[in-house]
Amino acid sequence: MIETDVLIVGGGPGGSSCAHELKKKGLQSIILDKTEFPRTKLCAGWITPGVLHSLGIGPEEYPRGIFTFNEIEGAYYSLKNTRPLRFKTTQYSIRRYEFDHWMLERSGAELHLHSVKEIEEGPDGFVVDDAFKGRYLVGAGGTHCPVYRALFADLNPRSQAYQVGALEQEFACNYSDSRCMLWFGENGLPGYSWYVPKEGGFLNVGIGGFSEHMRNARITLRQHWDLLTQKLEEMGLVQGHQWKPRGHTYFIREPVRHTRRGNAFLVGDAAGLATCDLAEGIGPAIESGIRTARIIAEGRKLDLSDIVRYSALGDGWKGRILSALDRKGTFFRDRIYARKFREKEERHLHAIGSGESTS
């Protein structure tokens, strides 16, 4: 049996950032992951300046491809009109295929390819499949993390009202338009779609919507995907591409989350920490991984409540005020994404039935 101080299940940003911080604190860790790295990971790959700040690096210090956006464009589709969006900002895009592998190597942790099946808790730690033992256990395996299933599902039941379903595809593309573009609520989608160029000639296209609303919608997520790709073709952004989207689900931040049970912890998507506005998970995963490592090393009380809840607002005063007012974390879901989405659906369906345009 292989023993260590901390067993980490999942080698993504949450797990690798935790391992990196543990090493700085003088603790050993082992990462268990069922997939070999580098590996494909469904994600837009959009990161904020806060992510780089958490990692202690500038964009020029990241050794793989990184694309900088100084402006974001798009539109918000209300029932009555389309409101163009354009705002100055500094944001970045990376390829998860490269980013996750770099973070794992940077952590210095020992990686074991292993699919976790059974977790046993004893007086002196945790045993995984009679093969690995650690005094502490960190679940960083995403939405379907085995640590969540084994130790937190009863303590931390997930509400379907906070679930997001997404379809996306990342592919090599000789794109001519390097703008980052977002479209909110188009054709009644209770979510948003995106066009995110990457360094090195790659492009990520995707669409996401709240599952609870999509379940009763007349336009399916796949149909919304087809509308998006048709739009991209018509705009000349992507031409003649063979679309093969893949789907996944995850959860945005709920009001009360238990991320510690004794010496077991959850970080990132396993803890359901994606932001309430753009459902961004990379930043919260990294920050929760770092904080959890410090808690383990220093024996302090764990508190993840002030991890950024809104990607667009950051951790400044605007984010803090909205966080205080939006205690349930549903402002963007109910007031922006799902607002009158059925009426917008009906408008689109009526328009295509009569041959009109909905844009």
Structure confidence by residue, pLDDT tens digits, 105-123: 999 999 999 999 999 999 9
The runs of H, that is alpha helices, within the chain are: 13-24, 49-55, 96-107, 146-147, 211-214, 221-235, 282-298, 317-325, 331-332, 341-354
Ordered by where they begin, the domains of the chain are 2-337 (3.50.50.60)
In this prediction, residue 325 carries a pLDDT of 65
In this prediction, residue 357 carries a pLDDT of 47
In this prediction, residue 54 carries a pLDDT of 95
Instruction: Spell out the long-range contacts of 204-207 with Cβ–Cβ below 8 A and sequence spacing 24 or more.
Output: 204/43, 204/44, 204/45, 204/93, 204/168, 204/169, 204/170, 205/168, 205/169, 205/170, 205/229, 205/232, 205/238, 206/44, 206/166, 206/167, 206/168, 206/169, 206/245, 207/166, 207/167, 207/168
Using 50 as the pLDDT threshold, list the residues of the chain that sit under it: 355-357, 359
In this prediction, residue 356 carries a pLDDT of 47
**Cis amide bond preceding 157, omega within 30:** no
